[in-house]
Structure 1
Amino acid sequence: MADLFSAQWMNRFQTEWNNESELADALAKIGFNSTIAYGIDGEDAPRGVLVIEGGKAVKSGAYAGEEVNWDLRASEESWNKWIEKGLGMMGLGMAYTTRKLKFEVGDYGAMIKDPRMAGPFIKSFTVMGRV
């Protein structure tokens, strides 16, 4: 298995993202465009990046200094737990309030209040489990 959020891991995540209608199609309906970075809490920079255009992942790889709309950080242990078991709405709320999941960039409050975004965000953790 590729290292978490490495270029190889992110490329597989891109494929799985686009294969999941509850994620890609749902975000396409709202014209979601974003550059999302993923990384380990405490590291200087994120490890991987995913570029979304019209709900579809169009580019992925190792983070290379791109400007991002979202930068999600957690411990490697937490990421692995969520990837293995998924993350529901209540778990997401707990992860955020206990600072296990940090939004270095991005507005958690705005995202979670919009069910058109919150549902796909939760689904992205399930999709990570397929990588």
Structure 2
Amino acid sequence: MLFSPTWMQQYQRIWNADTDMVRSLETALFNGSIAYGFMGKVRPEGYLNVQQGRIEAVSTALADGVHPDWDLRAGPELWQEWITCPPGLMQVGMAFSARRFCFARGDYVQILKNPLLAKAFVRSFELMHRVCDEAGADAVSKTPEVK
């Protein structure tokens, strides 16, 4: 299931094995925590901690009072769409403008200003697609409903 502990561990494995992803973030000196979740929910579903371009840790919860540097939110339908067919910056920008996607924390403009971050941001969706591709259709179809 999307953003479950197993899914996040597979994402970590695929991300860390992707030399383009790691190299882009390492060169950009990106270190930080990233959360993924659903619009309308109080807390994100999954968290990862990136150091020198590599995911060092994944989890499905953070301690109270701890906030991620980046918190990406979309509805279940949009996550499914993007995992099936990874978006480029234009599609992300359109979803952002239409308020179908948001940064609950973090600055989208910061990504756009740095070509290495922009490349890695787009690549992150491609890697999500690979996780679901390896897991099969169930990983996408079992995206939780937001209540």
Please give the TM-score of this superposition, normalised by the length of structure 2: 0.84
Q: Which amino acid aligns with 1:8?
A: T
Q: Which amino acid aligns with 1:69?
A: D
What's the offset of the Cα at 1:24? 1.2
What's the offset of the Cα at 1:96? 1.1
Paired residues, number: 129
- 2:11 matched residue in structure 1: 13
What's the offset of the Cα at 1:7? 1.2
What's the offset of the Cα at 1:47? 0.5
Q: Name which of 33, 41, 44 aligns with 1:43.
A: 41
Gap regions ≥5 residues in structure 2: 132-147
Query: Runs ≥4 in structure 1, deviation > 6 angstroms?
Result: none
Q: Secondary structure at the match of 2:35?
A: strand
Q: Which amino acid aligns with 1:49?
A: Y
Q: Name which of 23, 26, 40 aligns with 1:25.
A: 23
Q: Work out which of the two has the higher radius of gyration on C-alpha atoms and give 1 or 2.
A: 2
Which one has a larger percent helix, Structure 1 or Structure 2? 2
Partners of 2:57 and 2:44 lie apart in 1 by 16
What's the offset of the Cα at 1:27? 0.6
- 1:118 matched residue in structure 2: 118
Question: Contact (CA 8 Å) 1:32, 1:55: kept in 2 or not?
Answer: yes
Partners of 2:98 and 2:15 lie apart in 1 by 27
Q: Which amino acid aligns with 2:75?
A: S
Partners of 2:114 and 2:28 lie apart in 1 by 11
- 2:92 matched residue in structure 1: 92
- 2:60 matched residue in structure 1: 62
Cα shift readout 1:33-77 (whole Å, capped 9, x = no counterpart) = 010000011011000001000010000121223421000000011
Percent identical: 37
Question: Contact (CA 8 Å) 1:37, 1:63: kept in 2 or not?
Answer: no
1:69-84 alignment runs, 5 A limit:
69-84=69-84
Partners of 1:20 and 1:112 lie apart in 2 by 21
Q: Which amino acid aligns with 1:6?
A: S
Gap regions ≥5 residues in structure 1: none
